[in-house]
Amino acid sequence: MTLQTKKYINCKGRLISIEKPIVMGILNITADSFFDGGKHNRLDAAIFQTEKMLQEGATIIDIGAQSTRPGADIIEAEKELAVAIPIIEALVKQFPQAVFSIDTFHAQVAKQAVLAGVSIINDVSAGDDDVDMFNVVVECKVPYIMMHKQGNSKTMQLKPTYSNVVLDIIDYFVPKINYLRQQGVADLIVDPGFGFGKNLAHNYELLNKLKQFEILGLPILAGMSRKKMIQKVINEEAANALNGTTVANTIALMHGANILRVHDVKEAMECVNIYNRLMGQEADN
């Protein structure tokens, strides 16, 4: 039984329905992201990819100027801002009707990105990596995606350990949700953080029991696109992990995911459309 009651998120006055699942397209403007690093870090390439993902059905474009893949070097907020803000400003101008999110754990980057036009903060550290992040979320009054991770990019995959991975992560979210609710934050989204401080067994237990996160009463984001949890099972590299990603995304939808965060929007939208048909949420043509 789901406790979720809200069927929309308020993005600076624009209501985004999540009554049916939606797709978030990944726009990495870094040089070293694990799959598409260096592909979209020029403005013309970022514009092209954004237009492509919007045409394919993405509801949100998630802009990331810092790689958080396992082993990645952490860059300072000032350097992240120098990369992110010019591209954000250009994209907001080019696509004024689009909804953009900023993928960052730096509070300063989040705030400046919102001022530049993004409508959602997507934080892989759920406030743990920057003590000012929750203050920025409260101040900016935009939806906040909080993701669970264990450790940082250098340490998270060394030896992740849990008593019960699902319950431990739910327990991790509860005080954060309560605090932000008390501060008046209206729109929160949880992301269990596939691949971030989880081994293969942890990841698949999370996927199998994703529906248990509905107890939090919040939308659930699933981000598994081309990750190691898929590569290892199908014995392929990220470049050949699209089919496996499609299977995992379909399972996530069946288990309660409201948002799919993906590199490949067209294929994810196909998952959503088939899921909606299966659930009787699409009228006959």
141 is catalytic: no
Which of 198, 261, 266, 277 does the annotation list as catalytic?
A: 261
Q: Residue 184, exposed/middle/buried by CB under 10 A (0-12, 13-18, 19+)?
A: exposed
In three-state secondary structure terms, 64 is strand
Please enumerate in sequence order all residues whose Cβ is within 8 A of that of 60, keeping only pairs 6 or more positions apart, or say none.
16, 22, 23, 24, 25, 99, 100, 101, 120, 259
| Three-state SS letters, 111-172 | HHHHHHCCCEEEECCCCCCCCCHHHHHHHHCCCEEEECCCCCCCCCCCCCCCCCHHHHHHHH
198 is catalytic: no
Closest alpha carbon to 259 in 26, 50, 2, 1: 26
Which of 227, 228, 232, 266 does the annotation list as catalytic?
A: 227
Closest alpha carbon to 119 in 98, 139, 90: 98
Q: Please tell me the distance from the alpha carbon of residue 212 to that of residue 2, in angstroms, as a whole number.
A: 9
Q: Which helix (H) or strand (E) holds 222?
A: strand 221-222
In three-state secondary structure terms, 264 is coil
User: Hey, which residues are catalytic here?
Assistant: 227, 261
